Amino acid sequence: MSTTLVGIMYGIGTMLLMFSGMPIAFALGLIAVIFMFFFMPGSALDTVTQNVYEEMASITLLSIPLFILKGAAIGKSRAGADLYSAIHAWMYKIPGGLGIANVFACALFAAMAGSSPATCSAIGSAGIPEMRARGYSPGFAAGIIAAGGTLGILLPPSITMILFAVASEQSLGRLFLAGIGPGVLLVVVFAGYAAWKYKREYDAALTLAQSGGKQSALLKEEHFTLAEKTAMLPRVLPFVILLIGVMVALYGGYATPSETAGLGGLLALVLIGGIYKVWKPAQLKPILSSTLKESTMLMFIIGMSLLYSYVMSYLHISQSAAEWIVALHLSKWVLLAVILVLVVVLGFFLPPVSIILMTAPILLPPIREAGFDLIWFGVVMTVVMELGLIHPPVGLNIFVIKNVAPDIPLKDVIWGVMPFVGLMIASVVLMCIFPGISTALPDYFLGAK
């Protein structure tokens, strides 16, 4: 049987199992085992566990559960709410300051937690009610948090980038640094849109009030004294120091990514114990339980995805697909556009973890052949996968927001995130025109490749 036919059967079988409702890990593992049985030597099935173990025996992957522990410790405490309150108190005089504060809070929390859903939940549970109480429209408030939460897979420590580093055999430190510039870019454009949108809603509310209509809460002025603003800092600064310390340890060469993750997880537990008195077994149980469940789920997906990729490689499916793409002789930018559109489509029904591990064997060779920097491509691909977290029909962050604010209609949430989808697409275009946005920092600190 030809490699092309086997590849088509492999793809169709994968789609059928996924659309059947079977969990992603089981779907990938089952289709891999079926094709091992029919198209590989009989002894291959005896080595399934060995292959999975060897593929996962990476010191870089060890950092994933530890970063999850760090994120769970921060996400299950009041750190997110306190961080949001402090930023709001210091920015309340800026037009749209509340919305901008939520964007900044999402960015900082994402950098500490490394998880998009955790960021949406932690900041959204405090930020959405506050914005709505102050007159922000429901869709606008939901859009800010949903889009801000996507920064969790871009700003380091990003689990998605850890997996891309493993799949592409690139430097994790360089990849982390490459995500900072685009992360700052997205924070700036999100904050700029929040200020512009606030001005429009404020002007509409003012016009309505002047015409004798209902006075919106947007028109009410707030005031925080210096003492009130200063009093909020002691609970926030330790976590900011933790973030800075982890980055210094990683990029200063004082610790490996795994050691940095372990240090971050331990210090996060110490901080929530000291600041929020979370140290009793009953209080620690939700944190450890959440870490165990999420780590097990993620590592199971990773293991089955790696087995899936191994079978693709053994049967020459990935090599043949890559050679076919190269043989099309597309211009490098058309090739990139086609690949990114494919990633967007996959984002409709697959999480970033699966997209990376399933497509890396096929997509990376043509990208390398076209002359693109894989570090730069990894960041661009990550931003595009961020779109999958907020674009309908199945954007994960949209449903996290619905859980946080169930009274906001799904239609309003979707319309609220659409402008941010446009901003992210524009940011990808800017990164293509000015690749230094992502490559400048790693080249400066670690030297040009």
- List helix spans (H) across 96-232: 97-113, 116-133, 138-149, 159-168, 172-210, 226-231
Q: Considering the domain boundaries, does residue 136 fall inside one?
A: yes
Comparing 179-183, 259-263, 405-409, the range with the smallest average pLDDT is: 259-263
Q: Check if the beta carbon of residue 356 is closer than 8 Å to that of residue 388.
A: no
Helices H, strands E: what count in the chain? 21, 0
What predicted TM-score, i.e. pTM, was given to this entire model? 0.84
Provide the Cα torsion 275, 281, 286, 288; round to 10°: 90
Q: Check if the beta carbon of residue 185 is closer than 8 Å to that of residue 430.
A: yes
C-alpha 91/C-alpha 389 separation (Å) is: 28
C-alpha 58/C-alpha 157 separation (Å) is: 17
Our measurement of the distance from residue 227's CA atom to the centroid of its chain's CA atoms, rounded to an integer in Å, reads: 36
pLDDT tens readout for residues 353-371: 878 888 888 889 999 989 9
Q: What percent of the chain has pLDDT over 90?
A: 21
Look at phi and psi of residue 78 and say left if phi exceeds 0, alpha if psi is from -120 to 50, else beta: alpha
Name, in order, each residue with C-beta under 8 angstroms of 178's C-beta and a sequence gap of 6 or more. Answer: 375, 376, 378, 379, 438, 439, 441, 442
Q: What's the number of domains the chain is made of?
A: 1
The candidate with the shortest Cα–Cα distance to 34, out of 22, 21, 44, 20, is 44
Q: Considering the domain boundaries, does residue 1 fall inside one?
A: no
| Other beta carbons within 10 Å of 265 | 22
Q: Considering the domain boundaries, does residue 203 fall inside one?
A: yes
Q: Considering the domain boundaries, does residue 177 fall inside one?
A: yes
- Which domain does 186 fall in, by range? 59-300+394-446
Tokens of 447: 């030297």
Q: Considering the domain boundaries, does residue 169 fall inside one?
A: yes
- Across 206-306, the runs of DSSP E, i.e. the strands, are none
pLDDT tens readout for residues 226-282: 888 888 888 788 888 888 887 788 777 788 778 888 888 888 888 888 888 888 888
Q: Considering the domain boundaries, does residue 32 fall inside one?
A: no
Q: Considering the domain boundaries, does residue 217 fall inside one?
A: yes
pLDDT tens readout for residues 67-106: 888 878 887 778 777 877 888 788 877 878 888 988 988 8
